[in-house]
Amino acid sequence: MADGTDESGGPDSDDRPDGGTVVGTPGATSPEEAFARLGNAIRVSVLEALHERQRSGDRSDEAVPYTELRRAVGVDDSGKFGYHLNQLLGEFVEKRPGGYVLLAPGRELVRTIKSGAVATTEGVHSAATDAACFRCGAPVTVTYTSGYVVTCCTECRGALDYDLLPPGALSSIPLPPGAVGDAVETAPRALLDRAHGRFCHRARMFGDGICPRCGGQTTPSIEVCTDHDADTGPCEACSVSMPATVRVTCRVCAEGGISPVACVVSHREPFWDALSVAGVDRAGYDAFATMLGWPMSVRDGDDGAAVAYDLPGRSDAVVVDGDLAIRDGV
């Protein structure tokens, strides 16, 4: 090589081009220590460069030699670069015979950065869509504000009345800025479908007992409003239009939230068949709106409260118990 170094970065060639040595560091003993290692733009650039290799190359060629990595990051000072690279070894980067490879925690961090989840969102962006309100049939708008895609009816009071939500809110779904981009202005309906599709898929995973973020075990619980009145809009007691919702929480990372009960079981029969009858064959706003339009009521279940749905084409109700088991009602 031009600089007299072994580009492979193999076990017997740990020397940097300047004669220094890149050595591994012991694993961090706390999250604080691990995150403290990221407090430098060069280190973040290293992670992004390694992620780009994994994203664009095949798995057999994902290791990046030292000199190639330094050039990709754009640091001329080899000693300075080696120091910052060394800080990432162990927790986020691994040295292999062919060079340096991004580990799973490093990939997760880069994905978080690219999604814009840690970026500041500015302003409120809204646009009209051709979608219809599931409560009154009027046109709906899509708004992106504070990291949430919010759907609003243009005529009725909507289905949600939480603090900071605009009037007529029908749904409020978190989505990082990187996934939104300029879609409010250029493709509002597509954004509406992506946000609700993602929500439905995540809800289904939660309903199957799997956290979509970390893979941990989740726990469902049906929450009932005992003083429910939503004839003209969201209930003043519970702030939603549904008499009951399901709260799902991951036991590991605490990811979770509330969802319409039908959404967490929509991939199971007879709910999936009811969506097919309605002409809905994929998760999106139409699926969400269809499910929110099904008549529902609260019943006593086998173990606490249960929710009964009157699905089209069925003479008997379908009951979802507190553990999300589905059974026939009467």
Closest CA to 151 of 165, 171, 167, 136: 171
Say if 131 falls within a structural domain. yes
pLDDT confidence band for 164 (50 / 70 / 90): confident
| In a shared domain, residues 247 and 145 | yes
| In a shared domain, residues 148 and 291 | yes
Average pLDDT across the chain, whole number: 86
Average pLDDT (263-280) is 96
Tell me the per-residue pLDDT of 175-201, one tens digit each, with 9 for 90 and over.
988 889 899 999 999 999 999 999 999
Average pLDDT (46-72) is 81
Dihedral class, residue 85 (left if φ above 0, else alpha if ψ from -120 to 50, else beta): alpha
Cβ 125 vs Cβ 151: under 8 Å: no
Say if 156 falls within a structural domain. yes
Q: Can you give 17-55 as a three-state secondary structure string?
A: CCCCECCCCCCCCCHHHHHHCCCCHHHHHHHHHHHHHHH
pLDDT for 123? 57
Closest CA to 66 of 131, 122, 1, 110: 1
pLDDT for 292? 96
Tell me the per-residue pLDDT of 279-307, one tens digit each, with 9 for 90 and over.
999 999 999 999 999 999 999 877 789 99
How far CA 260 is from CA of 16, 157, 207, in Å, comes to 57, 18, 11
Tell me the per-residue pLDDT of 232-258, one tens digit each, with 9 for 90 and over.
899 999 999 999 999 999 999 999 999
Res. 33: pLDDT tops 90: no
Say if 213 falls within a structural domain. yes
How far CA 147 is from CA of 28, 152, 162, 247, 272, in Å, comes to 31, 16, 16, 21, 30
- 18 or 6, higher pLDDT: 18
Percent with pLDDT over 70 in the chain: 86
Tell me the per-residue pLDDT of 220-230, one tens digit each, with 9 for 90 and over.
999 999 999 99
Beta bridge partners of 95: 100
pLDDT for 121? 59
Task: Identify the weakest region by mean pLDDT among 5-19, 194-208, 284-298, 310-324.
Answer: 5-19
Task: Identify the weakest region by mean pLDDT among 33-42, 80-89, 248-257, 303-312.
Answer: 33-42
Say if 171 falls within a structural domain. yes
pLDDT for 24? 47
Res. 309: pLDDT tops 50: yes
Cβ 22 vs Cβ 95: under 8 Å: yes
Res. 319: pLDDT tops 50: yes
Residues in the chain: 330
What domain range is 54 assigned to?
31-115
| In a shared domain, residues 93 and 192 | no
Percent with pLDDT over 90 in the chain: 65
Say if 7 falls within a structural domain. no
| In a shared domain, residues 153 and 242 | yes
Beta bridge partners of 319: 308, 327
Q: Tokens at residue 15, please?
A: 């020397």
Residue finishing a domain among 77, 95, 115: 115
Residue finishing a domain among 97, 115, 133: 115
pLDDT confidence band for 139 (50 / 70 / 90): very high
pLDDT for 146? 85
φ, ψ (nearest 5 deg) of residue 151:
-100, 130
Q: Measured between alpha carbons, how far is 249 from 238 in angstroms, rounded to an integer? A: 19
φ, ψ (nearest 5 deg) of residue 27:
-60, 145
How far CA 101 is from CA of 27, 28, 90, 211, in Å, comes to 16, 18, 11, 27
pLDDT confidence band for 18 (50 / 70 / 90): very low
pLDDT confidence band for 216 (50 / 70 / 90): very high
Say if 108 falls within a structural domain. yes
| In a shared domain, residues 107 and 133 | no
| In a shared domain, residues 108 and 136 | no
| In a shared domain, residues 137 and 284 | yes
Say if 89 falls within a structural domain. yes
Q: Measured between alpha carbons, how far is 81 from 54 in angstroms, rounded to an integer? A: 21
Res. 325: pLDDT tops 90: yes
Between the two ends of the chain, the Cα-to-Cα distance in Å is 79
Q: Domains in the chain: how many in total? A: 2
- Whether cis (ω within 30° of 0) applies to the bond prior to 270 is yes
H/E run at residue 250: strand 244-250
Half-sphere exposure of 235 (CA within 13 A, CB side): 15
Sorted by sequence, the CB contacts under 8 Å of residue 268 that are 6+ apart come out as 326
Cβ 135 vs Cβ 156: under 8 Å: yes
Radius of gyration of the chain (CA): 25
Q: Tokens at residue 28, please?
A: 């961090």
